[in-house]
Amino acid sequence: MPEDNKLLICQNLVKHFTVSSSFNKTSEVHAIDDVSFYINKGETLGIVGESGCGKTTLGRTILRLHEPTSGKIIYDGDVIFDSENNIKPDMYKYRRKMQIIFQDPSASLDPRMTVSEIVGEALDIHGLYKKNRRDRINELLRKVGLNEEHSNRYPHEFSGGQQQRIGIARALAVEPEFIVCDEPISALDVSIQAQIVNMLQDMQKDSSLTYLFIAHDLSVVKHISNRIGVMYLGKMVELVDAKRLYENPLHPYTQSLLTAIPIPDPKLTRSLKRIKLQGEVPSAINPPKGCRFHERCLYATDICKEKEPEFREVESGHFASCHNIGEF
Ligand SMILES: Nc1ncnc2c1ncn2[C@@H]1O[C@H](COP(=O)(O)OP(=O)(O)OP(=O)(O)O)[C@@H](O)[C@H]1O
Ligand SMILES: [Mg+2]
């Protein structure tokens, strides 16, 4: 891939939260630790991992809705964060290009604002469509399967699926290039999940959008992602194109996630032994030394308890962090 095809590059991104614990002490939550990856223009990069592994934090940190603790972020050739050189440009210009769709549509819409106010607010902030604001709002509502009659209603008057459509219209209003879709369908009825996914895919084709698509499990991201990144406890543990991830998962954690979902392909089901994850996800306040997965890994050896594995390119375009790849 040529360098200029990359829309977003993250290098050694870290996001820690300081939280107060007992007796006036503070602790550091290692929400994102040393994560490096890129997203190509026009692609969908799926991100999966268990609850609390840092998916939302990653999405918000690359938009600088959370200020990164350290690392570097490059968006379309511009450095939008670099802790080493203290580069932290104002994000106003980029806010328009980089948008987010939230997991819980009802919580992300202001209950006191009408639909047209919600969608119009984004236009006003960026001074867009001043003359034909009303037409633009109606056009956006139509685009997401709503209509003009909906524009003076309030969020609580809508179903979850319709609320998510409003959230999508708000994100689209400013003609973004890149959208973080943070589990956009997980709060919705199964029956309407596919409609929303199809709509997001159609929008991507129409407007050449680039997505970071966050989901809980691999079955959701399989069909929509070009590449998939698997996260575990603040770390990216594997990243590769979607097809290869399902056919040849290298990291034991990815393997366990894959065997947990029903796969219609009997060849693949046979080749993967069912691996049940042991124990609980450890705390992000005191992540385990060495490989963060070692306490739950069936293949852990002594080195895994001591040394953190490097996130390396094992095969062309196939990144993984495990000391024992090829040994099991
Ligand atoms: N604002 C915050 N302050 C302190 N800790 C936070 C904050 N946001 C997230 N965390 C912590 O950071 C870690 C990663 O959380 P995050 O919400 O990014 O996970 P997630 O993968 O999105 O989980 P889920 O699948 O449940 O949405 C968790 O330990 C969480 O408790
Ligand atoms: Mg989340």
Q: Beta strand pairing status for 6-20 and 26-40?
A: antiparallel
Closest residue CA from atom 6 of ligand 1? 17
Q: How far is the CA of 57 from the centre of ligand 1 (A)?
A: 6
What pLDDT sits at residue 263? 59
What pLDDT sits at residue 233? 97
Which atom of ligand 1 has the smallest separation from the CA of 19? 4
Q: What is the pTM of this model?
A: 0.94
Q: How far is the CA of 103 from the centre of ligand 2 (A)?
A: 7
| 21, 28, 57, 230, best to mutate for ligand 1 pocket (most atoms within 8 Å of CB) | 57
Closest residue CA from atom 17 of ligand 1? 56
Half-sphere exposure of 200 (CA within 13 A, CB side): 33
What pLDDT sits at residue 57? 98
* Residues 6+ away with beta carbon under 8 Å from 173: 119, 120, 122, 123, 128, 136, 137, 140
Cα-based distances in Å from 159 to 9, 58, 142, 154: 36, 28, 17, 11
Confirm if 232 and 292 have CB atoms less than 8 A apart: yes
Confirm if 94 and 75 have CB atoms less than 8 A apart: yes
Confirm if 171 and 140 have CB atoms less than 8 A apart: no
| Angle separating helix axes 115-125 and 133-143, nearest 10 degrees | 120
Measured from the CB, is residue 51 less than 6 Å from ligand 1?
A: yes
* Residues 6+ away with beta carbon under 8 Å from 87: 79, 81
Q: Where are the alpha helices (DSSP H) in the chain?
A: 55-62, 92-95, 105-108, 115-125, 133-143, 160-172, 190-207, 218-221, 242-247, 252-259, 266-271, 302-306
Q: What's the one-letter identity of residue 217?
A: D
What pLDDT sits at residue 19? 93
Q: How far is the CA of 49 from the centre of ligand 2 (A)?
A: 10
What pLDDT sits at residue 22? 78
Measured from the CB, is residue 61 less than 6 Å from ligand 1?
A: no
Measured from the CB, is residue 56 less than 6 Å from ligand 1?
A: yes
Rounded average pLDDT per 10-residue block, the chain, 328 residues: 81 96 87 97 96 96 98 98 97 96 92 96 94 95 94 96 96 96 92 92 95 91 94 97 95 90 58 70 92 94 96 96 91
Q: How far is the CA of 28 from the centre of ligand 2 (A)?
A: 18
What pLDDT sits at residue 38? 97
Q: How far is the CA of 3 from the centre of ligand 2 (A)?
A: 30
Work out the burial of residue 156: count CB atoms within 10 Å of its CB; fewer than 13 is exposed, 13-18 middle, 19 or more buried: exposed
Measured from the CB, is residue 163 less than 6 Å from ligand 1?
A: no
Identify the nearest ligand to the CA of 51 by its number.
Answer: 1
Three-point CA angle 132, 133, 136, nearest 5°? 85
Cα-based distances in Å from 284 to 10, 155, 288, 292, 300: 21, 35, 9, 10, 20
What pLDDT sits at residue 267? 58
Tell me the two tokens of residue 250. Answer: 């290298």
Q: How far is the CA of 221 from the centre of ligand 2 (A)?
A: 15
Measured from the CB, is residue 29 less than 6 Å from ligand 1?
A: yes
Q: How far is the CA of 178 from the centre of ligand 1 (A)?
A: 22
Closest residue CA from atom 3 of ligand 1? 17
